Amino acid sequence: MANMAQAIRMALHYAETNYDLKDVFGQDVGAPLGGVFTATQGIKTAWNSPLDERGIIGMAMGIAMTGDRCVAEIQFADYIFNTIDLLKIAGNTLWCTNGQYNLPMTVMTPVGAGIRGSVYHSHSFDAWASRLAGWKVVMPSNPLDAYGLLLSCILDPNPTMFLKPKALMRVRGEELIPGEPADEKELKNMIDAPIGDRSAWKANWPKIQEYLVPFGKGKITREGNQITVVSYGRHLLLCNEVADQLAAEGYSVEVIDLRSIYPYDWQMIKSSVQKTGRFLCVNEDTEVTNFGEHLSYRVTQELFYELQARPRVIAGKHVPGIGLHPNLEDASVPQKHEIAEAIKEICGEIP
Partner 1 sequence: MKKTSVSSSKKSASANKALLIKKTKTTEKAKAPAKINFGGLSKELLLTMHSHMVKSRVLEERLIKIYRAGESFFWIGGPGEEAWGVPLGMLAKKGQGPEYDYLHLHYRCSPTLIAMGLDMTDSIRLMMNRATDPNTGGRNFSNHFVIPQWNIAPVTSPLEVQYPIACGTAHVQKRTGKKAITIVTGGDAGTAEGDFASSLILASRKGQELPMLITVQNNKWGISTCYDGQHGETFIADRARAFNIKSQVINGNDPVEVYLTLKEDMEYIRKTGKPAFVEAMVSRLYGHSSASGANPIQNEVDPVKEFEMKLLKAGLLKESEAKEIWATFEAEGVRATETARAEGVPTPESIWEHTYVGSENADWRKF
Q: Which residues contact partner 1 by CB under 8 A?
A: 22-23, 50, 52, 54-55, 57-68, 85-86, 89, 93-102, 133-134, 136, 157-158, 216, 262-267, 294, 298
In the complex, the smallest distance separating the C-beta of residue 304 from partner 1, rounded to whole angstroms, is 16
Nearer to partner 1, 147 or 162 (CB): 162
**275, burial (CB in 10 Å: exposed 0-12, middle 13-18, buried 19+):** middle
Q: Are 11 and 154 in contact (CB under 8 A)?
A: yes
Q: Say how many CA atoms lie within 13 Å of 171 toward its Cβ.
A: 19
Is 212 or 247 the residue whose CB approaches partner 1 more closely?
212
Output the CA–CA distances (angstroms, integers) from residue 67 to 20, 61, 99, 308, in the order listed. Answer: 11, 10, 14, 50
Q: What is the total residue count of the chain?
A: 351
Query: Least distance (Å) from partner 1 to the CB of residue 285?
Result: 18
Contact 272, 254 (CB under 8 A): yes
Q: How far is the CB of 222 from partner 1 (least distance, A)?
A: 23
Q: Minimum CB separation from partner 1 for residue 166, in Å?
A: 26
User: Which lies closer to partner 1 via its Cβ, residue 60 or residue 238?
Assistant: 60
Q: State which residue, 236 or 295, has the beta carbon closest to partner 1.
A: 295
What minimum distance in Å lies between the beta carbon of 20 and partner 1? 12
Residue 52 or 345 with smaller CB distance to partner 1: 52
**CB of residue 68 to partner 1, shortest distance in Å:** 5
Closest CA relative to residue 147, chosen from 105, 209, 232: 209
For partner 1, give the closer residue by CB, 75 or 142: 75
For residue 128, give the amino acid letter: W
Instruction: Tally DSSP H helices, then E strands, for the chain.
Output: 11, 12
Backbone φ and ψ for 222, nearest 5 degrees, come out as -140, 130
Q: Which is nearer to partner 1, 94 or 171 (CB)?
A: 94
Which letter does DSSP use for residue 82 in this model? Answer: G
Distance CA 168, CA 217 (A): 21
DSSP summary character for residue 216 = T
**Least distance to partner 1 from the beta carbon of 94, Å?**
5
Q: Which is nearer to partner 1, 58 or 321 (CB)?
A: 58
Q: Least CB distance from residue 61 to partner 1, whole Å?
A: 5
What percentage of the chain's residues is helix, strand, coil (to nearest 5)? Answer: 40, 20, 45
Least separation in angstroms between residue 42's CB and partner 1 is 21
Closest CA to 38 of 113, 117, 110, 122: 110
CB of 76 or CB of 264, closer to partner 1: 264
- Integer-rounded Cα Rg, in Å, for the chain is 20
What is the DSSP secondary-structure string of 27-71? TT-STTT--TTSTTTT-TTEEEPPS-HHHHHHHHHHHHHTT-EEE
